[in-house]
Amino acid sequence: MEQSRVKIPLYLFLVPLSIIFISRILPFFLYGPHPLGYDTGFYNQAINQARLASAPHFRLDNLGVEAIFRALTHLGLSNNIILYFIPILITALSGLAVFFVVKLYFSERAAYFSLIIYSLSFTQYLVYWEMLWKNIIGIFLALAVFYFIEKGGKRNLLPALLSAIVLLFIHKTSFFVLALALFFYLPVKKIRYKYLTLFLIFLLALA
């Protein structure tokens, strides 16, 4: 099927990205400085522990988050920036990832409308509202895996593997869904990444 050659002007990307940012900033104006869900307290405590440089717990599903928090606190970022702004930024990046993944399969026009739908997704808004920090990162990493696999070639195998491994260390549930999807996806697409599937299943067995 021949893809449409329609090019989306860059300024139109401001529409979905503005929806993402404004919809997630608005609660702070409506409900005060700490409007988000129950998990906010847990992550705030984890950030404080990272600032104290206490020994990590070495739980596989928390190790990645602990490493991220340590890196961000060492950069001098405040708790509020880490808790609230970083997830918004990653959500915006996930929207762009949706665009680039869909563009590989269909057309730029279809990819843009997918980005619009993503920006309006109430489910994605609830993920931020409930402060599901690991899920937010997990969506981006899973999309990155599909993007690099679909791009093909050996040079894209390493970033696909790295994205999957980081996902494992951040959110095991998202990794399980990704591994299951790839188990059925790769043979159907006849992509020569069977060893990638086997490697992901091996990691899943260790999780």
Q: What is the 3-state secondary structure (H, E, C) of 54-110?
A: CCCCCCHHHHHHHHHHHHHHHCCCCHHHHHHHHHHHHHHHHHHHHHHHHHHHCCHHH
Query: What per-residue confidence (pLDDT) applies to 2?
Result: 46
5-9, 90-94, 112-116: least confident range: 5-9
Read off the tokens for 15. Answer: 């529409």
Distance from C-alpha of 35 to C-alpha of 143, rounded to nearest angstrom: 28
Burial of 2 (0-12, 13-18, 19+ CB in 10 A): exposed
190 φ/ψ sector (left φ>0, alpha ψ -120 to 50, else beta): left
Crossing angle between the packed helical segments 133-151 and 60-74, to the nearest 10 degrees: 100
Read off the tokens for 184. Answer: 């059925």
In this structure, the number of other CB atoms found within 10 A of the CB of residue 56 comes to 14
Contact 173, 207 (CB under 8 A): no
For 25-83, what is each residue's pLDDT tens digit? 988 888 877 778 777 888 888 888 888 765 555 454 567 888 888 888 888 899 889 98
Confidence of residue 95 (pLDDT cuts 50, 70, 90): very high
Comparing 23 with 197, the larger pLDDT belongs to 23
Compute the average pLDDT of residues 171-198: 71
Query: What per-residue confidence (pLDDT) applies to 89?
Result: 93
